[in-house]
Amino acid sequence: MKKDTLKVTIRGPLRDLWRFISHISERRRIFRHSSAERPGEKHSIRLRESLHPEVQYLLVDKIQAENDSTNSYTLIPDTSQPGSISIAAFSAGQYLSVEVQLESGLRISRPYSISNSPEEARRDNAYVITIKTGKNSFIPEEMVKNWEVGTALKVSDPWGQFYHNPLRDTEHLVFIAGGSGITPFRSMVSDILSNQENISIVLVQGAAVPEELLFSDFFLNMEQSNPGRFKWIPVLSETTDTEGIIKHTVLTGFINGVILADAMNSRESSLFICGPQAMHSYIDKELVKANLKTKMIRRENYGIPGSPSGKEPVKITVKMAGSTHIISADRDETVLVALERGGLNPPSRCRTGSCGWCRGSLLKGKTRYDKEPEGLRSADRNAGYFHPCAAKPESNLVVDIPANPGINTDK
């Protein structure tokens, strides 16, 4: 049988055998002749560290009022911190997670979209974030109350998938913003109009009253200097009187199917929607009603609704980094918020279920999602892992939550 007689040699049987034996000692010879220097990473590490620093130490450099309840903050590197020289690069549409310590001593972080464009940010070595405070926004109010020029902040690396991609998106883009959801579009409009010649944009901006149409001067200006490429459609839900505030035609009501059809203009469109959960739901219905087909819809959700209901609270037993804590929670707030109120400083970024940063393990009890979080992995779902930022307690819980690694630690 051939099977038994096959005899392959490379350099002749004896030399092959010798080579086999010596390739072990060759290893030792190679080791002996190699460098005794301590090795250091050379290649992708530099890119990784500049794109994704573990924390950015920034200073408030300028505060500009956009309206009564909204300010834009210019943030520059705090050069008194070692290694803090330039801001990390980002794509237009991404956000930063900003950490603060409240007067009560609680440490929390909140996401804010970057409103200047990468070009502007790079030129000025500064990010701009725009924050709305006021009613129903307990945390932002508390957060920015004491901010002044020179205030030092700890901020995450730029994060999020809410950005334009020419390989995926159509040449006609429709941007839909509600309230402070306009912030990423300030960056995207500026970026795309100056760098992607073949792309046209219609921006539909919803607000209650004219004063809340943030960046209106900027968009007016862009419309005038980019005829045919950029159209701005402001839509106001509470008033029709824009005299002396907005020098532009303004629609009234909610952003409906007729407005969207006009914005899409019978062209295949990629939609970008950013705003509160209620607006997302409303627009989804309007798209169906008006029978509008889109190439794709990319969303940024500005928070999962939920506030204390006053119902009988539940008890959450939290295992975190080797110790156990017991906190009380409201059935209508998210587990993440309960953890924050309990002083546990849990990790979070997007706060809307998609990034997975808050991922934990539900060991006992029941939670509910108003809407299944988009980012939850199927194997995680099956094995009892959950996203606390989107989950609300239905019963007493036992959960295992990782300690906060990033911007909330003092090193």
Partner 1 sequence: MNSETVADDSPEVVVIGSGLGGLCAAYELSKKGIRVLVLERHNLPGGFSTSFVRGRFEFETSLHELGGASAYEYLKNDDFQLEFKKVPEAYRLLLTENGTDFLAPFGIKEFSDAIIKAVPGSEGPVKDFMKVCEESFNAFTYLGDNSPPDPRLLFKKYGNFIRTGAAVTDEVADAVKLPQAARDLIYPYWCYLGVATDKVSFSLWASMIYSYLNFGAYIPKGRSHAFSVSFARAITEAGGEIRYNAEVSKLNTAEGRVNGVTLNSGETINCPHIVSNVSPHHVFGNLIDPAQVPSKAYKMVNARKPGFSFFVVFLGLDADRETLGLTDYSYFIAPHMDTTRLVESLKNRHDPNPMQATICLNAADESASPQGTTILSITAGTDPKAWEDIDPWDYPRAKEEFADLLIRQFEKATGTEIRSHIEEIETASPETFSRYTAAWDGTVYGYEPAPWDGIIPRVLADNKERFFKGLQFCGGNASRTYGFGSSMLSGKTAAEKTIAEMNS
Residues lying near ligand FES in the complex (CB under 6 A): 348-351, 353-358, 375, 387, 389
Chain-centre distance of CA 56, in angstroms? 16
Q: How does DSSP classify residue 66?
A: E
Cα separations in angstroms, 297 against 274, 276, 284, 349: 11, 15, 10, 21
Collapsing DSSP states into helix, strand and coil, what is residue 45?
helix
Q: Which of 160, 181, 206, 375 binds partner 1 (CB under 8 A)?
A: 375
Residue closer to ligand FES by CB (options 117, 348) is: 348
What's the rounded Cα separation, in Å, for the pair 150 and 62? Answer: 9
Q: Which does 262 bind (CB under 5 to 8 A by kind): ligand FAD, partner 1, ligand FES, none?
A: none
Three-class SS state of 107: strand
d(CA 93, CA 79): 26
- 69 or 195, CB closer to ligand FAD? 69
Q: Which of residues 334-353 bind partner 1 (CB under 8 A)?
A: 342-343, 347
Binding segment for partner 1 (CB under 8 A), chosen from 59-67, 143-151, 220-228, 322-330, is: 322-330
Nearer to partner 1, 196 or 239 (CB): 196
Distance of closest approach, residue 301 Cβ to ligand FAD, in angstroms: 6
Pair 163, 274: CB distance under 8 Å: no
Binding range to partner 1, per CB under 8 A, among 3-11, 214-222, 228-236, 332-340? 3-11
Residues that bind ligand FAD in the complex, under the rule CB under 6 A:
95, 106, 110-113, 129-132, 136-140, 160, 180, 183, 300, 302-303, 307-308, 333, 337, 340-341, 350-352
Buried b (16+ CB within 10 A) or exposed e, 116-141: bbbebbeeeebbbbbbbbeeebebbe
CB 311 within 8 A of CB 392: no
Which residues, numbered 15-44, are part of the site for partner 1 (CB under 8 A)? 16-17, 19-20, 22-24, 26-28, 30-44
Sign (positive or negative) of CA dihedral 256, 259, 265, 271: negative
> At closest approach, how far in Å is the CB of 194 from partner 1?
14
Reading the block at residue 96, the tokens are 């930063």
Q: Is the Cβ of residue 69 or residue 409 nearer to partner 1 in the bound state?
A: 409
Query: Least separation, in Å, of the C-beta of 312 and ligand FES?
Result: 26
With CB under 8 A as the rule, give the number of residues binding partner 1: 84
Ordered DSSP codes for 214-242? TTHHHHHHHHHHSTTTEEEEEEESS----
In whole angstroms, how close is the CB of 100 to ligand FAD at the nearest point? Answer: 11
Question: Does residue 394 belong to the site contacting partner 1 (CB under 8 A)?
Answer: no
379 touching partner 1, by CB under 8 A: yes
